């Protein structure tokens, strides 16, 4: 493994991650990838913080029922704001369970309730079905100030949802994007070269996920609901905070997206986390750098309720 100036804690996390997943690779079948990812999620799973509970239910969407998980955080004064959470997994893996503990900890860190959406996955379902599920579930549970929090592929969908709803009355109050994939490979951003072989996510992996998301249909590279960076305009988007991992091909997606929003007169902030890799959220209890970043994410969500 190339060093990439990673510290000992992150190197140990990567080694354990690869061991548990039996060297998770996009060269294997989707079934094998889902099995390996489930092992990772179970291994790096932590108990809910005190005061957080959850309950599963269904909402109806245009493609059928959508599973959601509602998280409640007990406190004296309940905020009118809530988190809407979208999990990662390259559009082919991930579920309500894959980031269950992450959602619970974000509730405690921000003091907010949350709803996690279990959108349909590829290759069984292709674009724009993932986004349609997210839109339908969001509109079903939206109330007060909804803050969209997305991780990786979930951040793609968060940005796409904000674009889809940006001129409507139910536009999200804000979005927090965690190592988002926004179409930077289409724009040949530098991080896809310098981090082409980064641990846990390579540029080749990103190409695999992109193709799986489309199936046999033509890739809509100029569709902002597929690649948010391809939008003709970035006006009207909600306040945004984007977190990138410095050792990640996706790093420059977040930077360009933030730049475009600010250039259009919006409000966006970039936090590039040095010495961290894709999926570092799972290292938050074994790496000081990852733990510090997770606290910053919780603070960013909470800040949306203070303004």
Grade residue 4 by pLDDT with cuts at 50, 70 and 90.
Answer: confident
**Measured CA distances, 30 to 34, 81, 208 (Å):** 6, 37, 11
- Collapse the DSSP code of 81 into the 3-class scheme (helix H, G, I; strand E, B; otherwise coil) and give the result: strand
Grade residue 59 by pLDDT with cuts at 50, 70 and 90.
Answer: very high
pLDDT in tens, 215-237: 888 889 899 999 999 999 999 99
**What pLDDT sits at residue 76?**
41
Report the alpha-carbon distance of residue 181 to residue 229 in Å, rounded.
9
For residue 100, give both structure tokens.
């269950």
Task: Please state, for a pLDDT cut of 90, what percent of the chain lies above it.
Answer: 89
pLDDT in tens, 227-269: 999 999 999 999 999 999 999 999 999 999 999 999 999 999 9
Position of tokens 């409640």?
Answer: 72
**Comparing C-alpha atoms, which of 269, 251, 270, 260 is closest to residue 189?**
251
Window from 40-49, 73-82, 135-144 with minimum mean pLDDT: 73-82
Domains and CATH numbers, the chain: 8-303 (3.40.50.1820)
């Amino acid at each position: 493994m190339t060093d990439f100036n990673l510290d000992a804690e992150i190197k140990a996390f990567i080694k354990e991650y690869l061991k548990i997943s039996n060297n998770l690779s996009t060269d294997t079948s989707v079934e094998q990838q889902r099995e390996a990812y489930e092992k990772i999620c179970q291994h790096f799973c932590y108990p809910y913080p005190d005061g957080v509970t959850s309950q599963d239910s269904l909402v109806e969407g245009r493609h059928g029922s959508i599973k959601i998980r509602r998280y409640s955080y007990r406190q004296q004064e309940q905020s009118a704001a809530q988190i809407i959470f979208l999990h990662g997994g390259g559009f082919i893996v991930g579920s309500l369970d894959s980031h269950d503990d992450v959602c619970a900890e974000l509730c405690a860190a921000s003091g907010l309730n949350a709803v996690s959406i279990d959108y349909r996955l590829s290759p069984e379902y292709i674009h724009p079905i993932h986004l349609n599920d997210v839109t339908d579930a969001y509109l079903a549970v939206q109330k007060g100030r909804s803050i969209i929090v997305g991780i990786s592929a979930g951040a793609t969908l968060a940005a796409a949802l904000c674009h889809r709803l940006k001129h409507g009355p139910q536009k999200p109050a804000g979005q927090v994007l965690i190592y988002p994939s926004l179409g930077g490979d289409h724009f040949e951003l530098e991080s896809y070269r310098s981090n082409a072989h980064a641990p846990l996510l390579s540029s080749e992996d990103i190409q695999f996920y992109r193709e799986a998301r489309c199936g046999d249909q033509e890739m809509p590279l100029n569709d902002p609901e597929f690649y948010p960076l391809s939008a003709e305009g970035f006006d009207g988007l909600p306040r945004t905070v984007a977190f990138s991992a410095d050792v990640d091909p996706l790093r420059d997606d977040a930077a360009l997206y933030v730049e475009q929003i600010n250039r259009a007169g919006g409000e966006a902030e970039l936090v590039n986390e040095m010495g961290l890799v894709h999926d570092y959220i799972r290292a938050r209890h074994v790496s000081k750098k990852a733990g510090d970043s997770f606290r910053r994410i919780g603070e960013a969500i909470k800040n949306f309720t203070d303004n």
